[in-house]
Structure 1
Amino acid sequence: MTATQAIDVVTIGESMLSMQPMSEGALAYAPLFTRTIAGAESNVSIGLSRLGFKVRWVSRLGADPFGDVIQSTLAGEGIDVSQVARDARYPTALYFKEFKGYGDPNVYYYRRGSAMSQVAPEHVADAWFEGAKHLHVTGITPALGEQSADAIRVAMKRARELGLTVSFDPNLRRKLWTEEAARRTLLSLIPLCDIFMPGDEEAEFLAGVMSEEAYGAHFLAMGPKAVVLKLGERGSMGFAGDQVVQAAPYTVKRVVDTVGAGDAFAAGFLSGVLEFGELTEDDNLLRALERANHMGAIATQFKGDWEGLPKREELLRLISGGKEVTR
């Protein structure tokens, strides 16, 4: 893939080398680890690529072996990494998970001073968006460094000037910044997107306690053309124009790991937007939400943020209720 080829979605964000213990229990006593990669935007990229869409991932990595692993892994998933910068002055970030056998895994970040934390407005380039239709960003990147919020703000504005639509998942990470800074920055970015994709807890964090319908109206009034509210086990709701649509959840028997489920949901929804067309027409919004719910549920069935994400034929078979012939 080259930068001049048509690109469905551009994502911008940091990926980290992820270390996961091979056994459950306290991280301090784990003798063996598996190595993989992790990052909200790269998770979305992989999800979309496996569903048959052309994706470009934009980032900064250290000029180190960890950066090599991340870049080669994403390239191996068919993702355009031509706009990834390698910076020998700063390291690639690290990320550890701890599985204790109950509740969500604990997450430990080592990303302060990373290569991507140095991203600044002057790094934003039209080449990032060349040939692309859509930009997807999250609220994680603005939390990484002193100028990263300004860089994402410039990127969102420039993408829209170049004719791209923009989606924004707040993806709140309280460990990365203060609540005051997070709320102020995330709210300032909502008017710059076409699709806003908060979870119900993030909506409460940003707007206070409201009904789900009130959240939809509140965020639509800030400028987006569509609002997608993730409700976890209760499915999701979508708001576009005069439409208020609720999609039932895809239920699973047990949850293995919830990390990455929101990114899988985002990939599923964006794939529906790209495939079905205008959300205010027909039942496109509902169909996109249903696909997103399936993707999010699938992501909870495996350890790792992206490894078990389905290919297009697998997802469509699951949605239709078909069974895979395995022998």
Structure 2
Amino acid sequence: MELSQLRAFVTVSRTGTIAAAAECLNVTSSPLSRTIRELERHLGRELFLRRYHRFERTPFAEEFLPLAVEILAQADEAERVAAGEEAPLRIGATPWTSKRLTRQLMESAAERSAATPEFSSDVSSVLIESLRHGELDLALVHLPVTVPGVATAALARYRYSVAAVGDPNLPTGRPLRLPDLRGRKLLSFPLAMQPAPMKAMLDALTGAGVESIVEIDLRDVIGLEGRMARTGELMLATLSDDLPAARFLDLDRLRTYPVADGEIRFEIGIAWRARDCVHHAAIDAVVAALSPGGDDLPLLG
């Protein structure tokens, strides 16, 4: 098994097609396809299901990916050591969370990285794929992350409220329970932002009898209040100046109803590759510095 074969596998896994991977590796498609076939013959297992215009990882490939990424990372680190270079800690954070936590992650990483950290921002699902394929070393994402080879540590959980334009005739004087939303129409952020926790939340709402849940396009958040006024739809949101909802909702004008603790569990935390031997010391130090003490997670919102 050669490094070039592993790099071909990881690149095809990341891009999803032979053509896109070939462009990344500056080769033609036919030799790259043969390289993948040779690796599969060597392993005695298929790595991809060949779909129409798309390569999908097999269950074996899901388990093999963390090992392949780590072998390549150590090979790259050997070259840096020989050249007298330091590997920067590459960190990412979703913009759809606490600005304070993002700032703390960046500051903590800068203190513990031998070279200036590199930073990127995207939705959690994209960051997790970048992390899995060795393009990031540490990421602030929504939890849970249930993919092979990725470890996580929860930092906080969200406290939700229901926001409305006008009077939705919801109970007052106590926190809302999910059954209070029976028959209501809700707006939600897209499931693709982080499928696992978003799906769990939407399933809980549907199970409580919510009439409909519409996933909004992130490009439409600026006009969200106007839509809510026209349709009577409600928005489940985390209401704090430190959180994204404050950027596009006028919290002083909206009616807001807190949701009881425990009705919705949605967490934010740090994710990293469990096999990472290149940055493990820095990652352990960052995780220790940011992890909350005690059994209860801090609440956001």
Q: TM-score range by the shorter chain?
A: under 0.3
| TM-score normalized by the length of structure 1 | 0.23
- Structure having the higher Rg: 2
Higher relative contact order (CA 8 A, sep 6+): 2
